Amino acid sequence: MMGPAQPWCPGALRVVEGRPWPARNPHFGTLLAASRGYRDGAGAVLFPEQLSVATRPGRQAFGVVFLDRLQELFLARVLPVLEESTFTLIERENLFELRRRAFLAHERGHLQGAHLETAVLTRRRRLAAVVSELHADLDALVMLLDNPDPAAPATARVLVADRIVREAWLRRPYAQVDAIAARQLLALLTRAGAVALSRSGGVRLDIDRARDRLGEELERVRDLERACCRVGLEPAREYLRASGWAVVESACHRELEAPLARFLGYAASWSVPVA
């Protein structure tokens, strides 16, 4: 069951050029009741094809996003793994709003891409979805790092933390689009020195250190999307293989051996279920 909520368009947080984002508004809802399986899982979006309604909403072009569910997952599975100083006291008090902005920044990133998932004529679209997710993350982070809004840096930290701490370790990561994209982002940020283990044992984020690297990778992925739209998914396979992935049909395998990755994998195994 879900409670109704109104679409939201953030007027305060804007891109450098002054355009509000995102260009489309998802519908946010509140989860009132769910099965134990759903509660223990990682799902937080109910897509239109999963809904049974008498009349299809005219403005519903996206799923219903259970923002309270995203917040619960972040508080239970992500925040305890981070260094305590990752967020200020005021930012912690506003994590619900920051989580919503991070979601919207990611969705805005999708709109800036080449719409690869619908452009590629293939029955196996997982690789297209991986590239699209990676583009959305990179575009969102580049936008946020260049954004003068005071909330932008904390929004970027929320986006990155949820990706590398939680989504990179979803079950069956070789087949989960979000997990594949999140592991690729984790590897990129680790090489740039933007994420590391602190002496206290938590994960330390310094995303600004990866500013240039993120911009370079965004341009690379944009070119990759255009190439895939022209010739199919082979450029995506080549990109992932060159990045250390073993690609078998549409499954992507990569074991992350760095100490940070081993710690995150261990942390994900003892994450408590969301009540």
Spatial CA neighbour of 235 closest among 116, 107, 111, 115: 116
DSSP 57: -
State the burial class of residue 211 (Cβ atoms within 10 Å of its Cβ: 0-12, 13-18, 19+). Answer: middle
Q: Which two tokens stand for residue 249?
A: 């049909």
Q: CA 118, CA 269: separation in Å to the nearest integer? A: 35
Q: Are 181 and 239 in contact (CB under 8 A)?
A: no
Q: What is the dihedral of CA 191, 43, 173, 163, to 10 degrees?
A: 0
* pLDDT tens-digit readout, 185-226: 999 999 999 999 988 889 999 999 999 999 999 999 999 999
- If DSSP codes are grouped into helix, strand and coil, which group holds residue 184? helix
Say what percent of the chain tops pLDDT 90.
49
Q: Are 147 and 173 in contact (CB under 8 A)?
A: no
Q: How far is CA 156 from the centre of its chain?
A: 10
Does the pLDDT at position 157 exceed 50? yes
Q: What is the pLDDT of residue 140?
A: 95
Q: CA 191, CA 186: separation in Å to the nearest integer? A: 9
Kindly report the average pLDDT of the chain as a whole number: 81
Phi, psi of 136 (to 5 degrees): -60, -45
Q: Are 128 and 122 in contact (CB under 8 A)?
A: yes
* pLDDT tens-digit readout, 75-127: 999 999 999 999 999 999 999 999 999 998 998 888 887 666 555 444 457 89
Q: Are 27 and 60 in contact (CB under 8 A)?
A: yes
Q: What is the pLDDT of residue 155?
A: 96
Q: Look at the block and give the residue holding tokens 């919207």.
A: 104
Q: What is the pLDDT of residue 29?
A: 76
Domain ranges in the chain are 71-269
Q: CA 115, CA 203: separation in Å to the nearest integer? A: 33
Reduced DSSP (H G I as helix, E B as strand, rest coil) percent helix, strand, coil of the chain, to 5? 55, 10, 35
State the burial class of residue 221 (Cβ atoms within 10 Å of its Cβ: 0-12, 13-18, 19+). Answer: buried
Q: Are 167 and 42 in contact (CB under 8 A)?
A: yes
Q: Are 179 and 245 in contact (CB under 8 A)?
A: no
Q: Which two tokens stand for residue 189?
A: 């940020």
* pLDDT tens-digit readout, 32-66: 777 777 766 667 777 655 556 566 655 555 567 78
Higher pLDDT, 258 or 253: 253
Phi, psi of 150 (to 5 degrees): -60, -25
Does the pLDDT at position 10 exceed 60? no
Does the pLDDT at position 28 exceed 70? yes
Higher pLDDT, 246 or 5: 246
pTM: 0.83
